[in-house]
Amino acid sequence: MTDVMRDEIARPWQRARSSGLAPADSVNQFSVSDVDRRSRLLAAANPVLDRMESVLAGSGYCVLLADRDARLVDLRFGTHRLQDAVTAAGAVVGRPFTEETSGTNSIATVHKTRAPLAVRGEEHYIEGMKEFSCYGYPLLHPVTQRIEGVLDITFHASEDNPLLEPMLVYAAHDIQGRLVEVTRTSEQMLFAEFQRVSMRRRGAPVIAIADEILLENSEAGRVVSTADHNALRAMTDGAVHRRGSIQRVMLSSGVHAAVRWERPEAGVGIVIEIDPIDDGGAHLTALDLAMREAIVAELDRQHGNKRTTAEALRMSRTTLYKRMRDLGIFG
């Protein structure tokens, strides 16, 4: 890299370096997680991605979509040759592309700054990405202005084209507009399902969770906390089926419960039924609760990576897995 570096590139280089990431590191060292194919973002983006894939077929360009956590959720390739090269560099569905895991690029840095960015060849922080150039555009919800994801076009550095950036901007604006329609429809369906289940259960705990929504009846408000909401959602985020059950989970209070969940048909979010189990078992001690909170917080900071979480907590992975199991931590 030359000594002359644009500010919008120099700053993310410094952030990546400060996080402990080295230019010789590989994105492949970071774990891959499941992706919910029925998410609101993908429901809005799929028609646009299909159109872009058709336009770019046979060309040396690919389209990458990342979610609000900078995790890759969809990739479309113009050629198999480019697909092999991009995949070898670590870009696969389910992998996090934050600046802490992938350095400076037009997914990670756009996600961080919420601003469009082009990153060309040598401007990439990770050595294995320098053969590529890319354009990235943030996807902001038109109503909430919350970042929903990042849309990116990637290609070999020698194949840049001035038409790529306006094409990306048009596609990003199209996705953002579709987000409003998808949100309105899915929220109506989720609310209707929440009401139906609440009436059937007659006061037993019920919650409904979506990206911008949390609904709970009064009984649920007494037995679950914000940490439970996050944990329950994490248990079902990667599920393929529309419904499922978990025989026994531990809530943050130490109370055990049976859980049943279901997604509204053609909608997003989940409705969860919770049945506390009173079997005389011991609740978590104050020390257990503190340890549970520490592990959950570190897992969140490490984007679910068990290896780095164990290192940060100064315990072996075997010990971490055992404590997660004993403390009712899933993920």
Q: Is the pTM of this model over 0.85?
A: no
- What are the b/e assignments for 297-321, b being 16+ CB within 10 Å? ebbeebbbbeebbbeebeeeeeebe
Reduced to 3 states, what is the DSSP secondary structure of residue 289? helix
Give the Cα separation of 248 and 226 in Å (integer).
Answer: 19
How many domains does the chain divide into? 3
Intervals of the chain under pLDDT 50: 1-2
Residues 80 and 164 in one domain: yes
Distance CA 67, CA 176 (A): 13
- The CATH number of residue 66's host domain is 3.30.450.40
Q: At what angle do helices 40-56 and 164-201 cross, to 10 degrees?
A: 150
Residues 17 and 164 grouped into a single domain: yes
Q: What is the CATH number of the domain that holds 314?
A: 1.10.10
Q: Range of 307's domain?
A: 286-326
Same domain for 46 and 125? yes
Q: What's the pLDDT at 281?
A: 52
Q: Look at residue 247 in the predicted model and tell me its pLDDT.
A: 83
Same domain, residue pair 119 and 245: no
Give the whole-angstrom CA distance, residue 110 versus residue 86: 19
pLDDT recorded at residue 50: 97
Residues 102 and 208 in one domain: no
Residue 139 and residue 110: Cα distance in Å, rounded? 10
Query: How many whole angstroms separate alpha carbon 104 and alpha carbon 123?
Result: 7
Same domain (yes/no): 229, 136: no
Considering the domain architecture, whether residues 233 and 167 belong to the same structural domain is answered as no
pLDDT at 240: 61
